[in-house]
Structure 1
Amino acid sequence: MIERADPSELDAFLKAHPDIEYVDALLFDLCGIVRGKRFPRHEAAKLFTSGMQIPRSIYLLDAAGNSNDPLGYGFSDGDPDGDAFPVPGTLAPIPWAKVPGAQVLMTMFDAKGGPEEKDPRGVLAGVADVVRADGLRPVMALELEFYLIDRERAADGAPQAPISPLSGQRDRATQVYGMAELDAYGDFLRDLEGACLAQHLPAYTATSEYAPGQFELNLRHVPCALTAADHAGLLKRAVKAVASKHGFEATFMAKPWLDRSGSGLHVHLSLTDDAGVNLFPGEDGRPSDLLRHAVGGLKATMAEAMALFAPSLNSFRRFQPNIYVPVAPTWGLDNRSAAFRVPGGPAEAMRIEHRVAGADANPYLTAAAVLAGAHHGISERLDPGPPSKGNSGAERDPDLPFEWNQALSRLAAAEIIPRYLGRHYVDMYVATKRAERTAFLEGIFSREYAWYL
């Protein structure tokens, strides 16, 4: 179920922030790219009363921002508008703006008042409703890895590691969990923390990762899958904006360098009953049958959903053995080499960490696919088998599609994921991504000259 904010929310906000000059109305498309419109202060009330009119096809643009008329949406149907309305609780200041401004997240409704079928947020809402109808309440948090990179590219156009603010030298250190790295980028991290506080984004931990300039940010869990995905999408926007303010670029590209760690989007999921009691720990403190069935469903749907977890050619470069990236549908207890990890900790906090998706994946579609897989496993009481011990990421599973076109074909022929996300949405996604892939491959790569000229 999706909701729209009451106009009183805007009235109270503008009263508390008399200097605000405009409001940015934001939405996230199929690729997770933020789009929208800017409204001057005196026009902002219309957002809450009559909504924002914007083409429905805006949700189906490819990663380059092109409309490829997927399934006839765009040019063929005359590109009709839809009505998007503000999401409650998302109106917030933009701390990095030079002119005082605000932003609000939007969600689109169809003619009957339900979620627009092309809106990824509406897709996730539909899956969450199915889960909740069975008396299960998703509790979810997403964590994101990203790189800070230099604004200046290398001679071949490749990204470069950033110049350390502390040393003035190009960053070459790989000190995972290193505190010196956090100190070096302390000004950026402090400003990012301030931006998150101003925008009600519950980011609470930053760590340096396995490569120069790579960081991970954790978001607190919330009892709503939609809100968790909202937080992730808005956090990515904040990271990019604050990085720019400090002279860097931030990228959520899954694999910017072949010889360095990739960036992931990890989803933490538990399910509670109506009273908020976590259903994942069993009476003995070990994983319950419900958790095991959920893992069984995630294993059963991993291949179908790979095109959602890895949305570009570059995404698949991340899936290499022995680098803590899942290459097989495995699960384990506090085992980072597994695709589906049950982290250690107190029983009441037991959860599944889904580690498959790249940081470039759409948070809404990733969360939707995770919920779909878990619910499928619970409904069918699927047995995941014993948990993996030791390194479960040493060899690729030959049944998983580790190439973009193969993954799209697997999704197009899928039987489980479309039952949750909607067959028509899956068809729109595949059509959009196939057109994107075709356009991408129309260019000539530098290696073609090196090998074949």
Structure 2
Amino acid sequence: MPDSSANSSSESAAFLERYPETEAVDVLLADLSGVIRGKRYPVEDLEKVMQDGVAFPASVFMLDTMGHSHDPGGKGFSDGDPDCTAHPLPGSLVPVPWSNTPLAQLLLTFRNAEGDPLYFEPRNILARVLERIRELDLTPVVAFELEFYLLDRERLEGNAPQPPISPLTGLRESGTQVYGMEQVDGFSGLLRDISRACEAQNIPTGAMSAEYAPGQFEINLRHVDDALKAADDCVLFKRAVKGVARRHGHKATFMAKPYPEEAGSGMHMHVSLLDKDGRNVLDGGEDLSSPMLRHAIGGLLDLLPQSMAFLAPNVNSFRRFAPNIFVPVTRSWGFENRSVAMRVPLGPANARRIEHRVAGADANPYLALASMLAGMHHGIVNEIDPGTPHEGNASEKFDTVLPMRPRRAIEKMRRSKILPDYLGADYPSLYAECKEAEYDEFDWLISPQEYEWYLQTD
């Protein structure tokens, strides 16, 4: 492994010269469930952290959503929970603008005892899939767009969320005003601070809009030609939104379906592919599609049932899927059609891209993007035909092949012969063990509905 200590020392010195008031630094990772975990070090330790890295148990990437370890594949209790070394990602040292205490943060990537990338770290899984794409002399250009809800910090009975009170009107948000500018104006200070925080952290944001439910917004991240950075940005964007919302007295959530009767929150992924000369191979010229575009979509649709466990990782994730609400429920594709799973937006031919519309906002960006790039590679190398593009509503009823329940999705993934080749031979099994244990815990809980239904039948 090359010695990067000189560069690390230079990066930390330059940072502290610009932000001398910094008191501490947060070292961060996104685990299997996309939950950000880490440690906080006093700023006096920054130089050592940058040069030597920090120790973490490798099992941190095998925790469920609640942070519980279930010893999947014997990783945790059975193997003694050994440490590995986590190293800062170059260029990730940035300030934390929403913190009351002057803080810095940086992202980590992990190596095992032999110095090799830790194979079940989600970021390293994406890196392996990306290498397969690069073997075709192709470079993905990636953008995420995420929906999220602002919530009142006061909960309703049963811990249910409620929309926030608009700083503009003094009234609680209600109704659906998609693209409503009054909603954007009402939370303009918060949205402005999100944009400024992202700018300070080198996260490239673009358009922001009100979405289909009270307190729901969408912010787009700009296209970048580094897929790993795009996923890093997505992870850190979520942290920034939550931090800024807290500063403004609200809670932000990327939960897929916080309200049963309102729209869910998605994480749409946009990908185009450049060849070694910088030409977009999805560009069909005067035709709307190139053979490469069709084959990539064919592979995505072929792997979609096997990938649902990554795209909808939680019990709540599957509540987002329903017919006729612009959330895909079929293996479908089409041009400028928001009811399909794989949409091809119209516009300049040289900007032709695939928009993957299935993932929820609660998905791990590394694993979701890894599954998308795996599907595109699979389709390109096997020249898979996606069939006829769909016109009209593609989501009138559920596709029976798509697993629309958590355990069915896990079973589809377990039976996959293709995903292990891309993600790692045993990674789908490790992921499945972790998630199945989480679902078992969830099923063991007694809900208020259970008392309402079954006490009266006694």
Unaligned 5+ segments in structure 2 are: none
Distance 1:114 1:356 in 2: 33
Q: Match for 2:105 among 90, 93, 103?
A: 103
Aligned to 1:415: 417
TM-score by length of structure 2 reads 0.97
Distance 2:295 2:4 in 1: 34
Per-residue CA distance 1:362-386 (angstroms, 9 max, x = gap) = 0000000000000000010000011
The answer to whether the 8 Å contact 1:29/1:59 transfers is yes
Amino acid at match of 1:314: N
The answer to whether the 8 Å contact 2:285/2:349 transfers is no
Going from structure 1 to structure 2, the CA distance change for 1:295 and 1:3 (only over 3 Å counts) comes to farther
Distance 1:436 1:309 in 2: 16
- 3-state SS of paired residue (2:390): coil
Distance 1:147 1:3 in 2: 43
Q: Match for 1:42 among 44, 60, 64?
A: 44
Distance 1:319 1:2 in 2: 46
Q: Map residues 25-424 of structure 1 onto 2, 5 A cutoff.
A: 25-424=27-426
- 3-state SS of paired residue (1:82): strand
CA apart distance, 1:96: 0.8
Distance 1:4 1:244 in 2: 36
Amino acid at match of 1:363: P
Distance 1:37 1:272 in 2: 38
Distance 1:417 1:351 in 2: 23
CA apart distance, 1:437: 0.5
Distance 1:277 1:19 in 2: 46
Unaligned 5+ segments in structure 1 are: none
- 3-state SS of paired residue (2:373): helix
CA apart distance, 1:68: 1.0
- 3-state SS of paired residue (1:18): coil
The answer to whether the 8 Å contact 1:3/1:88 transfers is no
Aligned to 1:434: 436
Amino acid at match of 1:252: F
Amino acid at match of 2:168: L
- 3-state SS of paired residue (1:423): coil
Distance 2:331 2:49 in 1: 44
- 3-state SS of paired residue (2:161): coil
- 3-state SS of paired residue (1:44): helix
Amino acid at match of 2:257: K
Return 257-266 or 10-19, whichever deviates more. 10-19
Q: Match for 1:16 among 18, 23, 39?
A: 18
Per-residue CA distance 1:18-46 (angstroms, 9 max, x = gap) = 11111111000000011111111111111
The answer to whether the 8 Å contact 1:3/1:87 transfers is no
CA apart distance, 1:118: 2.0
Going from structure 1 to structure 2, the CA distance change for 1:2 and 1:394 (only over 3 Å counts) comes to farther
CA apart distance, 1:111: 3.2
- 3-state SS of paired residue (2:158): coil
Distance 1:282 1:190 in 2: 38
Distance 1:301 1:114 in 2: 29
User: What is the identity percentage for the equivalent residue pairs of Structure 1 and Structure 2?
Assistant: 51
- 3-state SS of paired residue (1:127): helix
Distance 2:160 2:356 in 1: 30
The answer to whether the 8 Å contact 1:329/1:339 transfers is yes
- 3-state SS of paired residue (2:59): helix
Per-residue CA distance 1:104-147 (angstroms, 9 max, x = gap) = 01111223433211210000001001110111111111111000
The answer to whether the 8 Å contact 2:147/2:265 transfers is yes
TM-score by length of structure 1 reads 0.98
Per-residue CA distance 1:67-86 (angstroms, 9 max, x = gap) = 11111111111110111111
